[in-house]
Amino acid sequence: MSQKLAKESFRSVFKVVDKESLRWFPGHMGKGLKQMQQRLKKVDCVMEIHDARIPFSGRNSDFKYTISGIKPHILILNKVDLIDSRIKKQIETKLKNECEHVIFTNCKLSNDAGVKKLFPLAQELINKSDRYNRSGEEDFCVMMIGVPNVGKSSLTNCLRNRFLRKGNASQVGARPGITRSVLMKIKISEKPLSYMLDTPGILTPNIPNTEVGLKLALCNTIEDHLVGETTIADYLLYWLNKFQHFEYVQVFGLKEATDDILEVLTQIALNNGKMLKFKDPSAGMYVQRPNLDAAAKLMIKSFRIGELGKLMLDEEFL
Ligand SMILES: Nc1nc2c(ncn2[C@@H]2O[C@H](COP(=O)(O)OP(=O)(O)OP(=O)(O)O)[C@@H](O)[C@H]2O)c(=O)[nH]1
């Protein structure tokens, strides 16, 4: 691992970025928030799902105030396979101030311990609650909410597979915003009869600062092109250097750590044969140059699939 550059050699703040590009709030998501609030009275428990890589800054403050104290509430940190398991306890302790019940899940694992615990916990909390306006209802109804692409559909499917032994009901996608409309109730258990309401992903329209927006983009909760792949890749490089995670040097075949995104992207493009061919009129021949956009996409992908290490982007909160 190359650590030749001292911490001071790297940027201490991330500049650039057009803040306007981070205000991504498609109409169906705004509608989703309203529907979610209306539906709160029809449910017995709320499962709030977040990306474990951004357990603090990824949360939607509107959710917190809408839910708190009204219905049993479980905070799920999904994609736990992508973070270092040794910091789970610290994250949990910190979040317990806001939510008593924090569960980590990995929807890619068929027999995940978190998924296993989740529904029994929801049942227990519902049984202990007075269920307000739903006390006469026999069936349990759970609502899953969260920012886009955190794994709401995957988790609904996991619960269904586990407790009902049935196949997928919700569409899963690698792009944010796949769940377009509120699906009707999805049965997740027969005994007790329980349903899940699958709502569209909702992202806070009020991203408090650029850095939070970039973390959300890095975790794919905002479509890449809206922020710009090169900007996201540059933020990733800034973050990796700031927190001294130098695995990227080896992964991308660099000589040493660097703060220069063009250097990194050029190397990635060369390594992967991502070249653009164009005609140079002065020389009268075709020449090639590195395709930096394609390289930025590859760099972001490396982070998202965990190639650069098991990274939790909210390190400064611990
Ligand atoms: N590594 C990892 N990937 C996951 C996990 N859960 C879901 N994913 C992936 O994350 C992406 C988004 O999953 P979805 O279930 O479609 O997320 P969603 O929250 O329903 O998405 P929207 O409909 O866009 O709001 C997909 O590519 C999933 O395969 C997990 O626990 N670990």
pLDDT by residue (tens digit) across 216-246? Answer: 899 998 888 888 899 999 999 999 999 999 9
Ligand 1, pocket-test mutation among 79, 154, 159, 203, most atoms within 8 A of CB: 154
Mind listing the pLDDT tens digit for each residue in 90-105?
999 999 888 899 999 9
Mind listing the pLDDT tens digit for each residue in 272-310?
999 999 888 888 899 999 999 999 999 999 999 999 999
Mind listing the pLDDT tens digit for each residue in 121-132?
999 999 999 887
Q: What is the pLDDT of residue 180?
A: 45
- CB neighbours of residue 139 within 10 Å: 13
Q: Say how many Å lie between the CA of residue 236 and the centre of ligand 1.
A: 21
Ligand 1 pocket, residue 82 CB under 6 Å: yes
**Alpha-carbon gap, residue 286 to 273, rounded angstroms:** 16
Phi and psi at residue 122, to the nearest 5°: -60, -45
**Alpha-carbon gap, residue 317 to 94, rounded angstroms:** 9
Percent pLDDT > 70 in the chain is 79
Look at residues 296, 1, 291, 51 and name the one whose alpha carbon lies nearest to residue 152: 51
Q: What is the pLDDT of residue 132?
A: 76
Q: What is the pLDDT of residue 203?
A: 47
Q: Tokens 């020449």 label which residue?
A: 287
Ligand 1 atom nearest 82 alpha carbon: 1
With the C-alpha atoms ordered 295, 82, 67, 179, is the resulting torsion angle positive or negative?
positive
Q: Tokens 């590009």 label which residue?
A: 21
Q: What is the pLDDT of residue 312?
A: 98
206, amino acid identity: N
Interacting residues of 128 by C-beta distance below 8 A, sequence separation 6+ = 72
Give the model's confidence band at 64: pLDDT under 50 very low, under 70 low, under 90 confident, else very high.
low
**Alpha-carbon gap, residue 289 to 311, rounded angstroms:** 32
Interacting residues of 255 by C-beta distance below 8 A, sequence separation 6+ = 2, 249
Q: What is the pLDDT of residue 57?
A: 85
Nearest-CA residue for atom 9 of ligand 1: 151
Cβ–Cβ under 8 Å, residues 52 and 314:
no
| Kind of pairing between the strands at 194-198 and 186-189 | antiparallel
Name the β-bridge partners of 196.
Answer: 142, 186
The distance from CA 311 to its chain's CA centroid, rounded to whole angstroms, is 12
- Give all domains of the chain, ordered by start, each with its CATH number: 6-19+207-317 (1.10.1580.10), 25-197 (3.40.50.300)
Model's pTM, two decimal places? 0.89
Ligand 1 atom nearest 201 alpha carbon: 25
Q: What is the pLDDT of residue 2?
A: 46
Interacting residues of 263 by C-beta distance below 8 A, sequence separation 6+ = 254
Ligand 1 pocket, residue 178 CB under 6 Å: yes
Q: Say how many Å lie between the CA of residue 70 and the centre of ligand 1.
A: 27
DSSP code at position 203: -
User: In the chain, what is the greatest distance between 2 CA atoms, to the nearest angstrom?
Assistant: 81
Residue 165 has pLDDT above 50, yes or no: yes
Ligand 1 atom nearest 306 alpha carbon: 1
Cβ–Cβ under 8 Å, residues 49 and 36:
no
Interacting residues of 244 by C-beta distance below 8 A, sequence separation 6+ = 3, 7
Cβ–Cβ under 8 Å, residues 92 and 253:
no
Look at residues 126, 186, 130 and name the one whose alpha carbon lies nearest to residue 153: 186
Percent pLDDT > 90 in the chain is 50
Mind listing the pLDDT tens digit for each residue in 181-219?
445 688 888 888 998 886 554 645 457 778 888 998 999
Q: How would you class 34 by CB atoms within 10 Å of its CB: exposed for 0-12, middle for 13-18, buried for 19 or more? A: exposed
250 to each of 9, 33, 300, how far by Cα in Å? 19, 43, 16
